[in-house]
Structure 1
Amino acid sequence: MEVFWFIPTNGDGRYLGSGEGARAASYAYCKQIAQAVDELGYSGVLIPTGKSCEDAWIVASTLVPVTKNIKFLVAVRPGLMSPAVAARMASTLDRFSQGRLLVNVVAGGDPVELAGEGLFLNHDERYELTDEFLNVWRKLLQEEVVTLEGEHIQIKNGTVLYPPVQNPYPPLYFGGSSPAAMKVAADHIDVYLTWGEPPVQVKEKITKVRKLAKQTGKKIKFGIRLHVIVRETEEAAWAAAEELIKHVDDKAIASAKEVFARMDSEGQKRMSQLHNGDRSKLEISPNLWAGVGLVRGGAGTALVGDPDTVAARMKEYADLGIDTFILSGYPHLEEAYRTAELLFPKLPLNKKKDPNERTYMSPFGEMSVKKQT
């Protein structure tokens, strides 16, 4: 099992739907989170993309030199960048980070935001574009000379001169719940991602993608994107969940629903349907809470509970085939520590041994060291 964390490049805070206790996504703060995550033993970080976020590639390039082990999941955006430029960017960052790049393929789901970026394709057309984009991108990074006269992409004798460290290219991650998206996954993707739906729905998606991948001969792994609220007791965890949304009022929920409704993302529709804006029915599956999705687009569910319970729920997803968990919590710096300290000991992680982990606080306040046996 691999556990990733999240770099909140659109801002952070203690509460949803409120400016109280809000934190700017400064470089210093993002650096704090990245270095904490690196030291705590997470496998990597997801850097979000979109109009409301700082540019993911620039953020990753500034955080690579101040970290040692974590990998960076960074988005390519078909239609907003050419496949040749995206391939060169990926190759450079992979080489300069010594193989720590992972690539998140994002086709986009908000027509209003995409129009502001200059992209006017409908839902299925964007996935046709993504298919052409990935055909070119993958071949370029395998040092092929590429010519394509596609419906959306034209390229003649394209090349990338400097190959990436990872062979044949940095692994491709991708999420999409529609038939068009799943076909792209089956043809191109290494890790298929789903947002945190109840296990029965996740199982259904995994089964569909596996069936499609079998037809193409593609071997696909699976990951899930979730928030997490873990505390020493169940009661404390649920109290923290309620505290997180205590400033979320009916007006904020209605405004968010209006934005979600304009999106043509099948995944966003499925997230919104989990709660339908009703804050009285937010535990949609045991310990799976949809409160975040009342006002946050994208990943809108959290695992809530004590360490044993949250670990058990994660293992239920693992039994379905999920081996990568991309987690987050508010605020992200403190929750990165809390999650690692409470949850990691309960999980089957491939975690490097920390040479400092033998230290502990004595009753007198000094740091003591356990005697080695």
Structure 2
Amino acid sequence: MTETVSRDDAVKFAYWVPNVSGGLVVSTIPQRTDWSLEYNQKLARVAEDAGFEYALSQIRFTAGYGAEYQHESVSFSQALLQATTKLKVLAAILPGPWHPAVVAKQIATIDHISNGRIAINVVSGWFKGEFTAIGEPWLEHDERYRRSNEFIRALKGIWTQDRFTFKGDFYRFNEYTLSPKPVQKPHPEIFQGGSSRAARDNAASVSDWYFTNGNTVENLKAQIDDIQSKAEKNGHKVRIGVNAFVIARDTEEEAKAVLDDIIRHAHVEAVHAFGDAVKEAGQASPEGEGNWAKSTFEDLVQYNDGFRTNLIGTPQQIAERIVELKSVGVDLVLAGFLHFIEEVEYFGKKVLPLVRELEAAREAKAA
């Protein structure tokens, strides 16, 4: 039955790489997730076998909000690629600390080493303290996205053209030729996140993929419709990924009890500090609609509003909600878990096959 769903049309799954200590929740609840390389390489192999197609390495330069230790994203991504054979790994990149020429060269090399399994997630920046700590200028909200726009356009130009010339406000290139160019054609996939008007407009013009924070189906539909309408006017195609914290258990009661336990053990001081920082960033957009602008305390216990997507319950409930997300335009689910290895394995055995069955049934009905 599952074979009737084409690979391109099937919803895809990615997981957050826990290369940052503290897991994916700002909570003191005991976790069997670890930020070490050994744990993460094992997790990458488990995820690959479970049916996950992507993994996203996080970028953090300084400690804070429960993340005391952090491994650098690009080098860590390469280590995960060496431990796997099919998984594509997204390295988070921060314009400002990184220059597009360095990223273009670095990613092209990794693309050759991994036989076309590297991608990037361009993070425009939300953590002002991180920028000031490393001596980087902190730009106004929309300026950060304008810089990211130039950053992505520069990368695409370097990866696809010889004698590339670009005259922007942030980056300039004069007949620059990168050789060898990446294995992937036309270039490695470029992901980008955000919820603000500037983030959506950027995705609708230059990004291959757009990540949005967790949200209700209704709110996601409005956001996706807006992006796709703009993209169509721009003659551009963009695919959509949504963040979700997955709690899959044999019963709904078990799953909800885990959620309650996570929130009950929330690191209150760290959640409030994180909330202050991200809400400042979210509300700094002209329309006040950036990531986290309307997040509650409970939402912020999971870094990217993952509880709001409501992938919490039995495998059947979660599979049905994933297919509902697909029906409003979601192409990929970016999942976080409490105990990564065993929960990713459970997801691959119990949830993903149900998703494929539901997809096939909907496709057959539509036909």
Amino acid corresponding to residue 154 of structure 1 in structure 2: R
| TM-aligned CA deviation for residue 331 of structure 1 | 1.7
Q: How far is 1:243 from its partner? A: 2.1
Paired AA for residue 340 in structure 1: G
Helix, strand or coil at the partner of 1:80:
coil
Deviation (angstroms), 1:238: 0.6
Q: 1:24 to 1:307 in 2, by over 3 A?
A: closer
Q: CA deviation at 1:307?
A: 0.9
Query: Among residues 53, 60, 79, which one is paired with 1:43 in the alignment?
Result: 53
TM-score normalized by structure 2?
Answer: 0.84
- Aligned pairs for 1:292-371 (under 5 A) are 293-301=299-307, 302-348=310-356
Which residue is 2:152 aligned to?
Answer: 134
User: Corresponding residue for 2:236?
Assistant: 218
Amino acid at match of 1:297: Y
Tell me the alpha carbon deviations over residues 190-222 of structure 1, each in whole angstroms, 9 at most, x when there is no partner.
112211111111111111111111111011211
- Return closer, same or farther for 1:19/1:238 CA change in 2, 3 Å cut-off: closer
Instruction: Kindly state the Cα deviation for residue 24 of structure 1 after the two structures are TM-superposed.
Output: 4.5
Is the partner of 2:43 in helix, strand or coil? helix
8 Å contact from structure 2 (residues 221, 328) kept in 1: yes
- Measured after TM superposition, the shift of residue 16 of structure 1 is 4.3
8 Å CA contact 2:17–2:40 kept in 1: the answer is yes
RMSD between aligned residues: 2.3
Residue in 2 that maps onto 1:68:
85
Correspondences of 1:179-190 after superposition (within 5 Å): 179-190=197-208
How far 1:297 sits from its partner (Å)?
2.9
Matched, 1:120 2:130: no
The 10-residue stretch of structure 1 (144-153 or 191-200) with the greater mean CA deviation from structure 2: 144-153
Once residues 250 and 25 of structure 1 are traced to their aligned partners in structure 2, the CA distance between those partners, rounded to angstroms, is 22
Name stretches of at least 5 consecutive residues in structure 2 with no aligned partner: 1-10, 64-69, 358-367
Secondary structure of 1:115 counterpart: helix
- Partner of 2:12 in structure 1? 2
C-alpha distance 39-128 of structure 1, shift in aligned 2 (>3 A): same
**C-alpha distance in 1 between matches for 2:271 and 2:22:** 19
Structure 1 SS opposite 2:165: strand
3-state SS of 2:86 partner: coil
Q: CA deviation at 1:76?
A: 2.5
**Contact between 2:151 and 2:171, CA under 8 Å: does it hold in 1?**
yes
**Structure of greater relative contact order (alpha carbons < 8 Å, 6+ residues apart):** 2
CA distance in 2, matches of 1:220, 1:294: 27
Q: Report the TM-score, using the length of structure 1 for normalisation.
A: 0.83
Q: Which amino acid in the other structure matches residue 314 of structure 1?
A: I
Q: 1:224-263: per-residue Cα shift (whole Å, max 9, x none)?
A: 1111001111111111211223322654543443333333
C-alpha separation in 2, matches of 1:333 and 1:110: 29
Pairwise CA distance, 1:18: 1.6
Aligned residue pairs total: 334
Which moves more between the two structures, 246-255 or 88-97?
Answer: 246-255
Contact kept? 1:238, 1:305, Cα under 8 Å: yes
Query: Which one has a bigger Cα radius of gyration?
Result: 1
Aligned partners of 1:238 and 1:68: how far apart in 2? 35
